[in-house]
Amino acid sequence: MKLIAGNWKMNGLKASRAMLSELVAGLQAAPTAAEVLVCPPATLLIPFAQLLEGSGIMLGGQCCHTAASGAHTGDISAEMIRDTGASHVIVGHSERRTDHGETSAQVATQMRAALRAGLFPIICVGENEAAYERGLTKSVLAEQMAASLPEEIAGFPITIAYEPIWAIGTGKTAQVRDIVDTHAFIRALLQQRFGTTGLRILYGGSVKPSNAAEILQAPGVDGVLVGGASLKSSDFLAIIAGCNTQ
């Protein structure tokens, strides 16, 4: 089953509950053949958990600290995210790596924290524009996955999100043939290291209603991680509907 995940990033206030209610109503009116996940800011996790109860829509956090608790002002632990009723957490997003200097080694520890708390981690990997233009996509991904994925994930249903940094929020989208090739490369790395090809691999990077169905139908694409388009219920519902065209 495909996974359609919405990353709200640093967007959303209490009034955003109206958008979530529209999403719930829309999926009740037009059931989907996909799993749906919403990852709002931490301030909205509890009210969203209440709204989503019984809806079938899953809830996730956007990042987590490596420790379960302690003197870490401003941080949120995986256990805190789990305590809100969330089931997933995003780790290693390029904006965290860039804005907060998170290293792949730290991302690996965050994955361990997510598993410790009983959360399903979605680990983001992807190359920047300079690496893409130099043809270094696969070498960057191999390096990130080697350092970001701890050995302890073997046997756990984690999710990989391939997000070319040059396509995030820019309106640019990778060519479908390149998405297919990159996903196959990631799957081969997982097979080589962990002996499995069954983990989900999502695509993220300016996914919108106009391109979602084509991306979702591409071989080896197990879903999408959506940014800005997940903030508007009509757009997010249209993207989700892309799973129903297969």
Residues belonging to the active site: 93, 163
Burial grade of 209 (CB within 10 A; 0-12, 13-18, 19 or more): middle
Angle (CA) 76 223 139, round 5°: 80
3-state secondary structure of 58: strand
The answer to whether 56 and 36 are in contact (CB under 8 A) is yes
Name the DSSP class of 102: -
Q: Give the β-pairing of 88-91 and 2-7.
A: unpaired
Contacts of 61 (CB under 8 A, 6+ apart): 39, 42, 45, 76, 78, 81, 84, 86, 88, 89, 90, 119
3-state secondary structure of 37: strand
Q: Which amino acid, residue 28?
A: Q
Q: Which amino acid, residue 92?
A: G
The answer to whether 231 and 39 are in contact (CB under 8 A) is no
Alpha-carbon dihedral angle through residues 49, 54, 57, 58, given to the nearest 10 degrees: 50
